[in-house]
Structure 1
Amino acid sequence: MSITPGFTAVEIRRFVHEYDGLAYGHKSPWLAERKLSRHRLARWRDAVYEGDLERGLIPREGSYMTIPPGKRSALEKARAAEQARHEAEVAELTARVRELEGSNYALGKAIGLLHSLNEAEPADTPTTTDPSNS
């Protein structure tokens, strides 16, 4: 879910980082060029740095700029790095699960083959003595 219809979370995050990287005096023309309001960008910044952009959650806080922009960017980069680590770990574990499922499948086939070979052989009949010869 996006906090603004027509924009994805990836686009919003890119806009916020691009805006934060602009020098003083270049931000208003940048906003006008993209037809964005300061209020919308402020909501996006709050969602990116302090909220949950993917779920469209913006924190309820009365004061803006509680964290300096440099620290905000550092926090966002740390969150992105942590997210990338988690995604890599999930991919690795998924690959391991598929590998183990393949091993289980092969073992199941081998066990089934052994059972079928065992059933195909005639069972040894025990030798019995004829009771009349006793």
Structure 2
Amino acid sequence: MRPSENCGDPRVRTWKIMVLPSLGQPDVPLEDQWELFTTLCHILHEQKRFEELERMTFSALGSKEFMRDKERAREMEFMCLLACIYNDNSYFAYNIMCELVIKNPESNRCWNLLNQRLMTSDIIAFCFD
């Protein structure tokens, strides 16, 4: 997809209209940053641009502001997992799932997702070597 084709999406164009704060003004509020990020992730998903979605979610994991909020941090990890699954990146999906299982050993959902990743990826070969 060429960059010029992305300009046709009205949701992308509306963000260009936003007035960004000048250097003398306070920073963009965290809620606005989060809304911008999640909207961008939804657009990338809808356009099936999974590689970019994966890069975007992993980059956001480095945001101190997003990761301070425990609930947002959990959502970020899950968004990274989904991006890896959509991008068919078994290696990172497996590592994220292992981390989630370690953090939530009582969660059947985490174990089921880990099992699903193992059964549908090439990583299963490493488990039985």
Which structure is larger by alpha-carbon Rg, 1 or 2? 1
**Scaled by the length of structure 2, what TM-score is found?**
0.24
Higher RCO (CA 8 Å, separation ≥ 6 residues): 1
**Scaled by the length of structure 1, what TM-score is found?**
0.23
